[in-house]
Structure 1
Amino acid sequence: MNVTVIGLGLIGGSIAKDLRKNGFATAITGVDANSEHAGKAKEIGLVDQVLPLEEALSAADLVIIAIPVDKIKLLLPQVLDLISDRTTVTDMGSTKKSLTAVVENHPKRRNYVAAHPMSGTENSGPEAALEGLFSNKIAIICDHEKSGPQHLALIEKMFQSMEMNIAYMSSDEQDHSTAFISHLPHAAAYALANAVQDKEDRSIILDLASGGFRSTVRLAKSTPSMWGPIFQQNKEYVVDSLEVYIKHLIDFKESIEHDEKRMYELMNNANNIRSILGGENPSLIKNEEKIVKFYTK
């Protein structure tokens, strides 16, 4: 299968690694606006060749778009304009409502499968690509009923070849859910990093930083050019999630100040997250058609 990957950074590069290793792709063509990234991706073997967009799409059976979501919004209609009727297109963006809206009435809408693999690191660029990054993670497919059966089946097969579990949601459900489990942690990490840097004696504080702080603030190293558009495209739900988070921060702050018993109650309640994340996830349910559906409360 001829696969074209647009965007040769962490996500696109990691997908290319997996699809080459598992034999899903027989040839991989890369497209990247950054010539340095394109050259490095070819040099380290992520792709077989790097071509201009139109040429890269001409022989593609599958097109994977893995660039920042603001760029996907601009590029996706163009890609659908250029592909053949048989070509399948998918994107790896972390937001979905704004992306699906721009191609809602496109003549080749059924060639497109809106997707979001729930995995990543704070690193970027072709050299950040990791084999097995997506193994045992969740891949969300959105508005699957709007995709043609053959195109949907191909993307399902791709994710299964990467050892991913598949969840099906509407674009709105996806954006609401990821606001809490993905976008909020990144926003909180940026705020925490800025809070520490705002201290006059920050050099001493940072010298003392150990594993707990470093793991909590790790996401603040994520690329602003990728995460800024995510926050903006999912603004409504990200703001909602931040308001809930701020409410709990204030509650915890006030318990420390005025109510020690309440403070312990809040910490013990927070400890319940161990059983939620550590055991079998009740939110992944297989229905009678063997389709996994992801629910959030």
Structure 2
Amino acid sequence: MVEIDSPDTIGVGKPLLVNVTSWYPLDDVVVHWAGRDVRPTITQGGGKYHALVYLGIRLRGELGVYPINVTASFWGHTYTFAKDITVVESAWGKETLSVPPKMVKPPKEALVRIAKERERIKAVLNTVSPERYWKLPFSRPAKGKMLSRFGLYRIFNGDTASRHTGLDFRAWEGTPLYAMAAGRVVLKGNFYYAGNCIYVDHGNGFVSMYAHMSKVLVNEGDMLTSGQKIGLSGATGRVNGAHLHLGTFVQGQVVDPEPLFSINVDTMPQMGWIDGIHTAQ
């Protein structure tokens, strides 16, 4: 009655595209994954009903078997379905960077600011809006080459290790930047580490962030279209040169943005109709 279309295995820190499909008219769908629930938007295409959602396991998440539990309602009845997903280790690189010392060991007067910023960001990342604004395929936020990849082990100034929780794009100072998908700007500000930055809610638990901008051209509350110009690249915050840092979050978990830009009919043949796009069967 209901199928859960998705890969059977994903790497830790990677996004997981799931399509709940049925020939029957779905009234409601709830997807439970890794302790969180989301009600994906239901659409129609190819004679079927679809509920498309992104899931994932955070960068430092545990390996193992995770069940996707789906509750689907139609014709006044509720049914439950499940599928197991195996989360395996991903390969990560390393890089060494030099930044101002205060960006590695912030002065005491900056710690209160950083703590407040983290609370604001945490609230945004836990947003699960009822409407899905994003559609496939996603737009590249910058025309430049992809540089520092997600998950890198980073050494700052020779002695401080961290992980890279985004994807960097080459973007010289003043390069136009674009929204990767439709959504609402839910947070805008100048942050200690991210510099001039915005967070965009794309609906159904998917949020993107754009950091280090020299100028932001949109405001909180603005509704964006996919590919809309949102600002200019810069070198604000913790950087060693101008670029765009793109972060993506699903159901509150930070995940690798790079796979989002490589989705095509060859990489998801099992998906059928996706947002009106007929993929191979």
Do Structure 1 and Structure 2 share a fold, with TM-score over 0.5?
Answer: no
Larger fraction in helix: 1
TM range (shorter): under 0.3
Q: Structure 2 length normalisation: TM-score?
A: 0.24
Larger fraction in strand: 2
**Bigger relative contact order, structure 1 or 2 (CA pairs below 8 A, ≥6 apart):** 2
- Structure 1 or 2, whichever has the larger Rg, is 1
